[in-house]
Each structure stands twice: as structure tokens, then as C-alpha cells.
Amino acid sequence: METAEKTLEEILTLAAAHFKVAREKLSPDEDFFKALGIDSLQTLDLLTKLENHFRVELPDYELQGVTDFRTLATKIQSRL
Amino acid sequence: MSLHREPCNELGSQSLVELEKFVSALDDLQEDAHSLIVYSTLKCGFCAGADLRELYQRSQAMDQAKAAEGVRDFLERIHSVLNRIDAAPLTTIAAVHGVTFGGGFELALACDLIIADKMARFCFPELRLGLIPGFGGIPRLKRDLGNAIVRDLLLTGRSINATKAQQIGLVSQVVSEGEALRAAQATAAQIGKFDRQTALTAKHFIKPVPVDELRQEIELFCALFSRPAVQAGLKKFVESTDAQPYLP
């Protein structure tokens, strides 16, 4: 079972790689829409990447209002 | 058939005319072809669904009765197109990636097979507008899947990825990113080895067009469309800057 911190780190690494942003520029409590500069279609891409990576199902409505990486990690952790 | 209308192959009046032109040639194509692959050349995905901006702008520019009449005409025509793809004398394959939402999902469902790259996402977001899917989505989804997942997709408006879509029997093959068209071509090549008459007999036996339910869907959609809540939903969507505008 992955720890919450490991999940968070994996999200940050994955997001940085997919959206071509330097990993060190992303921090756990940052607004990922702003940090990654993503629109609604890219948000879906991120969701799919995360589901595929962690092999979980993340209903969109559970992520509504989630804007920072740490909360996102908590949501994913609850489905691992 | 390649879809290539920016921003994400929204199905509006211009796309409809082009689709009508395409399907009118389907019967003649069976002399020379065995398969039809429907795919998108755009990075964003297969198709984001109906052109809601056009629908909103047009319905604002005319009185309610006229707008309802226009919507019914559009639905009759798009149903005719999708019914012809559904029953086409060819094996039809939707090769999808990225956004496959609403009307785009319905276009894929009209095909015999759906091959998805692993970044594809499927969704019926219509309820957020106060509508139901109007391009044959529910009858065709019901034809292919169990009621539990049909209700889940319809009533929550959530999106699912390609892996989930394969698990529930919606997608027949999931391939790597960017590989859906190649996989569809390989599948079509295999399909082409069989006798056409036999393949068509099998297709029509196993995949009847749900004509009565499709008609019922048009009536239900039109009844819902005339409510003020729909205009409010369309306005909200068109003006939305949300990250998940397909959710209420």
C-alpha cells in the first residue's frame, strides 16, 4: 500500500512530466490549474493519467473543487 | 471518415451537412469497401459532442417555438445519419482518443466496434443542461451495456476512462496513446478476410437498430428542450470557465 506522501510525490512527478513543467516548480499545496497552466481538456488528460497510473477510478464529481495536489493525493489515496 | 473540425469536432449544422453527404455514399461504398473507420485528426479527442454554442446562439436568436422546431429538425437529421451508420453495409469501427463526450460518444456507439487509446474518456454530460442525450445515446448504450452502468453514466454525468470502458464491455480494444487508428486499420484488415454477406448477416442479427426507443428519445428530448431550465443550462455552459464545465 502506498503512503500518502508517496502518492503525492508520484502525482507531482507525473504532472510535471506530462505537462512539461519542472518538478521543482510544483509544490503540494499549490493550485495545480495555475501551476500547470491547464484548461478543461487538459484537466481530463490529467485525470486519465492519474487513473491509469494508480489503477483507480476517480469519479469527476469527487474531484470537483479540488485545486491542490495534496487534496488530490488524499482523494486518490482513499481509492487505493 | 476523419473528423477535423476545431476546436473538438463539435457536431453542429455544418458537420451535420457533411455527415449527411458522407452517409449518402455508404450504400455505394460496399462495392469497394468492407470497413469504415471513424476517427479524429484533432489532438483534443474524438468528439466533444453537440455544438452547444451554436445551439445556444441560434435558440437565442429566435422565438421558443421556432427554436424547438429547429431542434426537432436537427435531431431527426442526426438520427437519420447515425441510424445509417449503425446499419451500414460495412463493418464500422470508431477509433477514439481523448474526449469522447455526448454526441461524440453517441457517434462511437453507432459503430460496430470501438477501439480506444488509453487516454480516451467517455461521458454523457447532458443532464447538466436539463436534457438527456439526444443523438441515440441511451437506446444504443442500453443495447450494449448493463443497466447499472447505463444509469451510472447517465445519472451522474461522470466520465470514465478507456480501461473502465473496456471492463464494462463498451470498448473492444484498448491500445497505447496514439495507436487507435493503427489498431482499427489492423482490425479492418482482418475483417476484410471474411465473406461480406456472412459478416453483414452476423452484424444485423447481433446489432439491431433500436428504432422505437430512438423515436421515443427524440420526443423526450424535445419535451425537455422547451423548458426554461435548458436555456439557463446552455447559457451557463457557454459562459463557463470551470475546469469541469461538463459537471453541474
CATH at A29: 1.10.1200.10
Which residues in chain A have their CB less than 8 angstroms from residue B245's CB?
A: 40
pLDDT in tens, chain B (248 residues): 999 999 999 999 999 999 999 999 988 888 889 999 999 999 999 999 999 889 888 888 888 888 889 999 999 999 999 999 999 999 999 999 999 999 999 999 999 999 999 999 999 999 988 999 999 999 999 999 999 999 999 999 999 999 999 999 999 999 999 999 999 999 999 999 999 999 999 999 999 999 999 999 999 999 999 888 888 888 888 887 776 666 65
Q: Is the Cβ pair A60, B244 closer than 8 Å?
A: yes
Distance CA B75, CA B133 (A): 11
Residue B45: which of A13, A43, A57, A23 has the closest Cα?
A: A43
Domain count, chain A: 1
How do the domains of chain B map onto residue ranges? 2-232
**Residue A47 belongs to what domain range?**
4-77
ipTM of this model? 0.87
CB pairs under 8 A between A and B: 55
Torsion of CA B77, B80, B85, B90, to 10 degrees: -130
- How many angstroms away from the CA of B212 is the closest CA of chain A? 32
In chain A, whose CA is at the least distance from the CA of B165?
A: A57
**Topology of the domain covering B2-232:** 2-enoyl-CoA Hydratase; Chain A, domain 1 (3.90.226)
